[in-house]
Amino acid sequence: MKGLKQLFWMLLFTACAHAAPQAMPPVDPDTPIYSVKVEPGVTYDDVVTSLKVAAEGANFVSPANFPLGEHIKQRGLPLEGVLEVRSYCNLSLGAEIMLDHPEFAVFAPCRIAIYEKDKQLYLALDRPSFDLKYIKHPTERAVKAAQKLEEVLLSIIDKARKGEI
């Protein structure tokens, strides 16, 4: 009986240790790019599916996908792995910024990159709150909307890096 208890606890500990994804790294306020590793065992297809489901669940649309890696490879350049940019838009939040600062449209739509580096898959975000720093005297409404956009996009990335649906 004692051996069974030890085996049970060892299996439980091992399962918990493998099941617990790492926490998202903190956002560096001094850089426009937030990048995070995709969890081990999560495939590119898992990431793409998770991005789609999480974005739709957060009322975001993805109007375009830019398969940069495919185009680089078509030119005969030696790119290994994935390299693409997917755009995301939540017009309700985006409008809160662009009604006061239409020039912010240059940063729209929001973008998430999927890329591979040293055989590791990553997700990266161009941070809306950082982009807003390039607007002179942003309104409080715009600042709050950019922060909310970023918060939701980071949540989408967190789900996608774990392959959550």
CATH at residue 85: 3.30.310.70
Predicted local distance difference test score (pLDDT) of residue 22: 82
In a domain, 26, yes or no: no
Predicted local distance difference test score (pLDDT) of residue 6: 55
In a domain, 126, yes or no: yes
| Alpha-helix runs per DSSP H in 20-86 | 44-57, 68-74
In a domain, 6, yes or no: no
pTM confidence score: 0.84
* Distance (Å) of CA 139 to CA 22, 81, 136, 146, 157: 36, 41, 9, 11, 27
In a domain, 65, yes or no: yes
In a domain, 109, yes or no: yes
Rounded Cα distance, 156 and 165, in Å: 10
Q: How many CA atoms lie within 13 A of 155 on its CB side?
A: 14
Strand ranges inside the chain, DSSP E: 33-37, 65-66, 83-88, 110-117, 120-126
Predicted local distance difference test score (pLDDT) of residue 160: 97
Residue 153, C-beta contacts closer than 8 angstroms, at least 6 positions apart: 60, 88, 110, 112, 125, 128
Residue with tokens 């850089």: 31
Domain count, the chain: 1
In a domain, 23, yes or no: no
pLDDT tens, N- to C-terminus, the chain (165 residues) = 565 455 444 444 444 445 566 888 999 999 999 999 999 999 999 999 999 999 999 999 999 999 999 999 999 999 989 999 999 999 999 999 999 999 999 999 999 999 999 999 999 999 999 999 999 999 999 999 999 999 999 999 999 999 998
Write out the residue range of the structural domain in which residue 125 sits: 31-161
In a domain, 77, yes or no: yes
Rounded Cα distance, 114 and 65, in Å: 11
Q: Are 85 and 113 in contact (CB under 8 A)?
A: yes
In a domain, 21, yes or no: no
| 140 sits in which H/E element | helix 140-161
Tokens of 82: 């994935």
